[in-house]
Amino acid sequence: MTTHFSAKLFCAAALIAAAVFSGIGAPAAAPEPRSESFTYNIQFLLFTKAAQGRLSIRPIGGRRYRAELTAETKGLAGILMYGRENHYISEMEFDPIRRRFISRLYIKQVRKQAGVERTEAVIDTESGMVKWKYFWREKLYGKGHDPIPEGARVEDLLSGLFNFRIGGLGPVERGRNITLFTLPNYKAKATNEGEDSEEEEFQKFEIRIPTAEAERAYRKRFGRSGEKGLLVLVKVPKNLFGQETGEVRVWLDPEMVPVATTVEDAIYYGDVYGVLVKPEKRR
């Protein structure tokens, strides 16, 4: 199994983690964000527990919150991928008037066999700039300041998903489409390894809630016609996690709890599935 192949599988697992935990489409009626954590398994081909992850959100003082996603390969898959681990951190400020999170600091750390790489991005909405640094094996390889696109509201991976959950992006309505700006690929900017110059620009998340008719067609296609709930489709930049199509299906039950998540064509050999196995304390 090549390193490139391993990275694709693991990054797809991390993408599922974010989708499973986010609770996309959850009601916006909650008075304040709560502390929560979930554990989940990632399935691929014959690996029923190819990776395991934990996501959490908790207050850290004032109106600041810290959201984290950690995904780590397990068992034989872990051996084949040399124990790869991805860790994502978002420090956010909650705006009670607009009822949404504002991303302030985003950190992505990837532990691989060869070493650890880390990206840090400070999002300064007041000055309209993102200050970033990229490290490899604790050595600074690149840094810079990027102006935020005029009129854009920049979300990191976790702030965008949690904002959807609490209604910070508007009402959940069938047939609604939402576009969000997200951060560039700072590794590509620092190392000039990007295959596409667009990776170095601010990119977009595309969130789509199918119409009732389209959802019925999806349910028939995937054998979920007897279930109730909501389908949400999320498309992210391909370079974010390495998936081929960039689209994730998230099935939610009537309580807006994600019951199944699929990344199509996440790697060369098919789809990757996320299964929520342990919801933990909510307070």
Would you state the pLDDT for residue 28?
43
Place of tokens 């667009």: 198
Would you state the pLDDT for residue 72?
73
Would you state the pLDDT for residue 162?
84
Mean pLDDT of the chain: 77
Indicate yes or no: pTM above 0.95.
Answer: no
Q: What's the average model confidence in pLDDT over 100-124?
A: 93
Would you state the pLDDT for residue 198?
61
Higher pLDDT, 131 or 29: 131
Cβ proximity of 17 and 69 under 8 Å: yes
Tokens read off for 193: 């390894």
Output the DSSP codes for 146-186.
EEPPTT--B--HHHHHHHHHTTTT----TT-EEEEEE---H
Amino acid identity, residue 94?
F
pLDDT level of residue 265 (50, 70, 90 thresholds): low
The range of the structural domain enclosing residue 105 comes to 3-279
Which of 16-25, 45-54, 194-203: highest mean pLDDT?
A: 194-203
**In whole angstroms, how far apart are CA 238 and each of 6, 15, 75, 196?**
16, 11, 27, 11
Model pLDDT for residues 214-263, shown as the tens digit of each residue: 999 999 998 999 888 889 888 876 655 445 555 788 887 777 666 777 77
Would you state the pLDDT for residue 160?
86
Would you state the pLDDT for residue 3?
41
3-state secondary structure 68-105: EEEEEECHHHHHHCCCCEEEEEEEEEEECCCCEEEEEE
Higher pLDDT, 180 or 281: 180
SS3 category, 14: helix
Number of domains observed in the structure of the chain:
1
Distance between CA atoms of residues 106 and 66, nearest Å: 10
